[in-house]
Amino acid sequence: MLSTLLRYIEEKHYCPHCSGDLTLCHAPPVHVGDGLGWGSEYLFICLNDTCPLFVKGWDYIANHYGHVGSYRYMELPNSKETYNMMVVTREAFTGSVVDIEAIKRQNERYQRQQEALAALDACVEQKQLAPVLTVLLDDSVRIDDRKRAVELLVPLNDTACVEPLRNHAFKDPHLEQEVNLAIGQILANHFLKECPYCAELIKARATVCKHCQRELAT
């Protein structure tokens, strides 16, 4: 799905009326003309307000049909079909332009996830915390993969995981519980605890925090 969209983003389509670039838009749910679907989730549309088709269309439709409207040139992806699509307002379709930067960001995030997931198997051996954190801190990763990542925290035994994990608001209470258990185990392995006042890591034996100087209940 994302790959299809990324391909469309790279495609260049030109309007035969104004030679301008066509804009990739989300298709409206229903074909304006005949009530059928477009057969595509995306359309390439000329949104140029100075396009001759669009400029002359208002008079043409007023004269021939007696109502307000004009035409936008449109092509379907993967098709030779082209349409002069009737629109009743200047703003039609301008709200359904595909947000290309958002799609690219989504794709980069997806690629990072895939790289991190692929690195999970070897990360304990290679002492790499980063892929585990990438998977755990991304709420869009499948829960099974995140559970696989949480199980690697204790074997990695790296206290650098504490701060990023503590700063993340986990939506899944079960996953959060597993993360908390792992952090507790890692701190115990290092004879450390978290100061309840300033959250710095300090020696488990400390009775005064070396960071905030507060007395700790023993």
Q: Write out the residues near Zn ion by the rule CB under 5 A.
A: 15, 17-18, 46, 48, 51, 195, 197-198, 209, 211-212
- Kindly tell me which of 69 and 148 has the beta carbon lying closer to Zn ion: 69
Least Å distance, CB 93 to Zn ion, is 13
- Kindly tell me which of 176 and 200 has the beta carbon lying closer to Zn ion: 200
Query: Which tokens in the block code for residue 5?
Result: 């969209």
CA distance 8 to 20: 17
User: Strands across the sheet with 82-87, in order?
Assistant: 23-26, 42-45, 70-75, 82-87
DSSP 153-213: HHHHT-GGGHHHHHTS--S-HHHHHHHHHHHHHHHHHTTEEE-TTT--EEETT-SB-TTT-
CA 153 to chain centre: 26
- Kindly tell me which of 127 and 205 has the beta carbon lying closer to Zn ion: 205
Least Å distance, CB 4 to Zn ion, is 25
- Kindly tell me which of 60 and 197 has the beta carbon lying closer to Zn ion: 197
Least Å distance, CB 90 to Zn ion, is 14
- Kindly tell me which of 15 and 153 has the beta carbon lying closer to Zn ion: 15
Least Å distance, CB 47 to Zn ion, is 8
Least Å distance, CB 70 to Zn ion, is 12
DSSP-derived secondary structure letter, 185: H
